[in-house]
């Protein structure tokens, strides 16, 4: 495996030196995309939120700012990501508003109806399923809860397809594929926004009451 392929493969599960290097770029590299996607979150009262595939932890931190009365749980399956996200959010962890933990999106360690909001930034490309994983997200949301997916690739752009060819286990979904999977997983309503100049997607799904 070439060095470039090894490096970009760290986006799936950061490990070792290359994983640390990749994580060092995630928070800043994805900030513009994440902030754009968060703009589609509705004005709602959030008590409990979960950021799935939290990476370096920035997006969990932004959720804590956006919803100042909420507790945010950040979950990632990579040990390095958990450590990085915990370090990034150490002040809020100390204040009792944030928890960072290791977990698998296809078998989340939470009770039914635990969260008002779930988010997934630049991560569903690697989720098993995706219907199985989306069903788990639906399960842990309260009735009427929200799930936001933000992707840099719309499943048709050239760059996304190039990364898909490089990174084992990566799949860039189209908006239609994600909408169908969310509906099959039990979400009652799905809305999609496309960036006007870039192949970015923001998909907001709502669990039925």
CATH number at residue 25: 3.40.50.150
Q: What is the mean pLDDT of the chain?
A: 88
Instruction: Quote the Cα angle for 29-149-173, to 5°.
Output: 90
CB-count burial class (<10 Å; 0-12, 13-18, 19+) for 67: buried
pLDDT tens sequence across 145-200: 999 999 999 998 988 887 777 777 788 999 999 999 999 999 999 999 999 999 99
Neighbours of 176 (CB within 10 A): 10
Average pLDDT for 97-124? 96
Tell me what pLDDT residue 9 has: 43
Q: Which helix (H) or strand (E) holds 147?
A: strand 141-151
Our count of domains for the chain comes to 1
Place of tokens 């969260």: 115
pLDDT tens sequence across 8-31: 444 555 545 444 455 556 666 679
Say if residues 126 and 170 touch (Cβ distance below 8 Å).
yes
3 pLDDT tier (thresholds 50, 70, 90): very low
Q: Which domain holds residue 52?
A: 3-38+45-207
pLDDT tens sequence across 58-96: 999 999 999 999 999 999 988 888 999 999 999 999 999
* pLDDT reading at 127 higher than 90: yes
What does the alpha-carbon distance between residue 69 and residue 76 come to, in Å, rounded to a whole number? Answer: 23
* pLDDT reading at 209 higher than 90: no
């Amino acid at each position: 495996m070439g060095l470039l392929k090894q490096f970009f493969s760290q986006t799936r599960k950061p490990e070792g030196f290359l994983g640390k290097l990749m994580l060092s770029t995630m928070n800043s590299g994805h900030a513009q995309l994440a902030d754009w996607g968060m703009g589609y979150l509705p004005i709602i009262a959030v008590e409990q939120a979960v950021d799935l595939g939290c990476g370096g932890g920035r997006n969990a931190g932004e959720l804590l700012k956006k919803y100042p009365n909420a507790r945010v749980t950040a979950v990632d399956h990579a040990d390095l990501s958990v450590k990085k996200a915990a370090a990034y959010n150490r002040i809020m962890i100390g204040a009792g508003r944030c928890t960072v933990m290791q977990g698998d999106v296809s078998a989340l360690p939470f009770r039914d109806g635990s969260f008002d909001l779930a988010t997934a930034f630049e991560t569903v490309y690697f989720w098993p399923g995706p219907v199985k994983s989306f069903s788990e997200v639906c399960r842990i949301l309260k009735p009427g809860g929200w799930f936001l997916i933000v992707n840099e690739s719309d499943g048709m752009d050239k760059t996304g397809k190039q990364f898909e060819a490089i990174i084992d286990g990566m799949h860039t979904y189209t908006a239609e594929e994600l909408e169908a999977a969310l509906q099959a997983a039990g979400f009652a309503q799905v809305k999609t926004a496309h960036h006007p100049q870039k192949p970015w997607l923001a998909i907001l799904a709502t669990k039925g009451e």
